[in-house]
Chain A
Amino acid sequence: MNIALYVVAGILLVFSFYKDQKKTKMALKKAWKAFENILPEFLVVILLVGLLLAIMNPEMISSIIGDKSGWFGVILAAVIGSITLIPGFVAFPMTALLLDGGAGYMQIGAFISTLMMVGIVTMPVEIKYFGKKLTIYRNLLAFLFSFVVALVIGVVMSR
């Protein structure tokens, strides 16, 4: 996944350099500036992720949504998904385990949905680009949407 990204960026960079060295230097300068601009917010997010994941480890998450059922469990799952930030390749094996451990499809659907679409800890970065209002609305709508996902997943998977 990362390799593909590097290959594409690398090929384009070489091509760009071949076409126009000056423009390529400008592009790299822009890339650096854009990165440096957001770096403080990135670092805050990374610290928060560390802190939250240390508290909300997989055992803790499974103890909360593992054996609960019904909409209360779905709401809890959605809230936990919103405040945690776990990369997909860690999250999916984990949710597969949660399912084996007795969690329902609805809870898992809500958890995965908010995990990906709602980002409480990444809000400092999002606000920097989109402002407070849009950030709050986007996350709120995505949070509500996760209940639709939970419902549909629950209906489809129970058949």
Chain B
Amino acid sequence: MKKIVKRYRVFLIVLAIMLVITLFNYDLGINAFGVTGYSLKEMILVIPPVFVLLGLLDIWVPRETMIKYMGEDSGLKGIILAFFIGSAAAGPLYGAFPIAAVFMKKGVKFSNIMIFIGAWSTTKIPMFLFEMASMGAKFAITRLLIDIPGIIIIAFILSAVMKEDEIKKIYESAEHFDD
């Protein structure tokens, strides 16, 4: 029980703050809980398949296969795969982080993981189609064309600024994401 309270401490504090806000500004508070309810619904809808896929990936795909296709020496093939997997995704960015953890566990190269995160955040195919429909093809395509090199450049800068032992530490903690 104590452990649970400790783990959910921040959640409980933020919840209390929101309740206090609701006391002082009823409309704002109700509105905030309304949006939270909406996001919760979105999370409940998106999260189960994402985590099931992550579990299956972890169990069925051998580390050697992942290293071969997306590991240190995967080169252009790894970059393209990272882009493709990230772009085929659905759901908010926070869904990408647990999958990135499995990738790390499986020996996927650091820069490819950063490309995967970048692609998931901004070049998702379903979103692109939606953007075309509401903002026009010129806007959507321009943004896509600038985002692709941007994501790669950001991934390489991040690989350069992170020291080897720092990256190693992140990979080690990824081993325990399902403890």
A47 touches B36 (CB 8 A): yes
Is B74 in contact with chain A by the CB < 8 A criterion?
no
B150 touches A27 (CB 8 A): no
B174, CB-defined interface residue at 8 Å: yes
Main secondary structure of the interface of B (DSSP, over half): helix
Interface residues of B in 1-54 (CB under 8 A from A): 7-8, 10-11, 14-15, 18, 21, 28-29, 31-40, 42-43, 45-54
A76 at the interface (CB under 8 A from B): no
Bound-state Cα–Cα, A27 to B136, Å? 42
Knowing A16-B56, A92-B134, A117-B122 touch, does A49 contact B39 (C-beta < 8 A)?
yes
Interface size class of B (residues with CB under 8 A): 35 or more
Which A residues are in CB contact (< 8 Å) with B139?
Answer: 105, 153, 157
| Contact across chains for A47 and B15 when beta carbons are under 8 A apart | yes
| Inter-chain CB contacts under 8 Å: number | 226
Judge whether A133 and B162 touch: CB under 8 Å.
yes
CA distance A141 to B161 in the complex (A): 11
Q: Known interface pairs A9-B49, A27-B55, A92-B131. Does A129 touch B15 (Cβ–Cβ under 8 Å)?
A: no
- Would A13 and B52 count as touching, CB distance under 8 A? yes
Does the CB pair A51–B130 fall under 8 Å? no
Q: Is the CB of A131 within 8 A of B142?
A: no
Question: At the interface with chain A, which of B64-72, B77-85, B87-95?
Answer: B87-95
A33-B178, A129-B100, A131-B169 known; A28 vs B55 contact (CB < 8 Å): yes
- Consensus secondary structure, chain A interface: helix
Partner of B59, one of A27, A116, A117: A27
Contacts of B21 in A (CB 8 A): 51
Which residues from 28 to 63 on chain A have a C-beta closer than 8 Å to any C-beta of chain B? Answer: 28-35, 37-38, 40, 42-51, 53-55, 57
Q: Flag whether B170 is at the interface (Cβ < 8 A).
A: yes
Is B32's CB under 8 angstroms from A32's CB?
no
CB pairs A–B below 8 angstroms (17 shown): A9-B48, A9-B53, A24-B59, A26-B55, A30-B55, A34-B101, A43-B8, A44-B10, A50-B37, A51-B14, A93-B134, A95-B135, A113-B143, A116-B122, A125-B94, A138-B117, A149-B150
Q: Which residues of B contact A (CB under 8 A)?
A: 7-8, 10-11, 14-15, 18, 21, 28-29, 31-40, 42-43, 45-56, 58-60, 90-94, 97-98, 100-101, 114, 117-118, 121-122, 124, 126-127, 130-131, 133-135, 138-139, 142-143, 146-147, 150, 153-154, 157-158, 161-162, 166, 169-170, 173-174, 177-179
